[in-house]
Chain A
Amino acid sequence: MSTKKILLVDDSCTARLVNRMIFSQKPRYVLVSAIDAQEAVDRAREEKPDLILMDIVMPRMTGLEACRALKKDKETEKIPVILLTTRGEEKYVQEGYASGCSDYLTKPVNDAELLDLLKAYLGE
């Protein structure tokens, strides 16, 4: 069984904790995390994750800005980015897709929904 590396980016400790709980039961996924968008850009270059799960509203740099930066970089442009946010309104969803994200998931995250989405991007 090949493992897949996921980079989780969220400034909220609770969000990182609940995602850790979800992934702790799934040995197939290796989770690395970043607490802000700038760190996410750096870690993505360094870790080359298979997928990035990223919050939008973060201090210093937003998830949308980070997503645009990742898509401009040859080393990270192909990594699928799923935006994970409390902002479920249509204009935010559109803004998310415009930044180059592959998918958009609203909080509170449902674990089944999240795992289904991961399967769709990373295979069974």
Chain B
Amino acid sequence: MTGTGNGNRPPAKASDRIETSSGKTAISPGTEKLQRRVHQLSLREQLERNHFLLERLNAASVRLLQTLEQHDVCEAIGEIIANLIGSEEVAIFHYFPLVRTFKLAWSSGIEDDTVRAFGSGAGFLGRAALGQTSQFPKRQLNTPLLSYEKDLTACIVLKSSHEIVGVIAILGLLPQKSCLEWADFELLKFLEVYGAVALQFQRLQQEQVAP
């Protein structure tokens, strides 16, 4: 009997294999049917996951589009992260690359001291801006965390045409959510680009209106 290796499934029985005239071992029709069924179920699961991701991306896209009239880009990004990703501890900073300065644009569920510490630009937030790439502390286990970064889940760089517009700090996830999943990373990639475009659009509009 051959084991499956992971200990979860029973080992294949010898009766599942058929000896052919050439001496090679073939899989019995029953096993083949079962394998096809498993493959179909796995495909179906993938389809459903992709479909759900498209629904979420669509909702996020429509929500960002609404901000063009409602001028609430940061609230919209906060809502997308809370409802579609699963965190209510978010801070969004405008970034001014020429002077390398962060300015808090919006925050929710984070203490003022922590927001100020992030705004100083040290640690992950600064590294994200400097390297122009989003940072995920749980994927970078060798990078030391500063005291206020212990709950940090991600620093997302909002980048439009190679220019950094802002950075999102996402701290703790909701209690029912243990970690970011595949679809969450896709949504965050979407925010990196389209959140940046919406934020920049709002900033330009404000500059145009200001005397």
Report which A residues bind B (CB closer than 8 A). Answer: 12-15, 17-18, 20-22, 86, 88-89, 106-108, 110-112
Contact = CB atoms under 8 A, between A and B. Distances in A.
A51 to B, nearest CB: 20
Task: Report the contact-size class of chain B (Cβ under 8 Å from the partner).
Answer: 20 to 34
Given A12-B83, A18-B55, A108 B177 contact: yes
Contacts, number: 60
Given A14-B63, A18-B56, A89-B175, A108 B86 contact: yes
A35 to B, nearest CB: 13
B179 interface: no
Interface string B68-96: 00000000100110111110100000000
Nearest to A55: B83
Nearest to A107: B83
Contacts of A108: 83-86, 174, 177
Nearest to A57: B88
Contacts of A111: 48, 52, 55
Contacts of A14: 59-60, 63, 76, 79-80, 82-84
B62 A17 contact: yes
B174 A86 contact: yes
7 contacts: A13-B79, A14-B84, A17-B59, A22-B55, A86-B83, A86-B174, A88-B175
B83 A18 contact: yes
B42 interface: no
Residue in A12, A17, A86, A110 whose Cβ sees the most chain B Cβ within 10 Å: A17
B66 interface: yes
Contact of B176 (A13, A15, A17, A88): A88
Given A12-B83, A107-B86, A88 B52 contact: no
A14 B62 CA distance: 8
Contacts of A107: 82-83, 86, 174
Nearest to B75: A13
B46 interface: no
Nearest to B70: A13
B138 to A, nearest CB: 18
Nearest to B45: A112
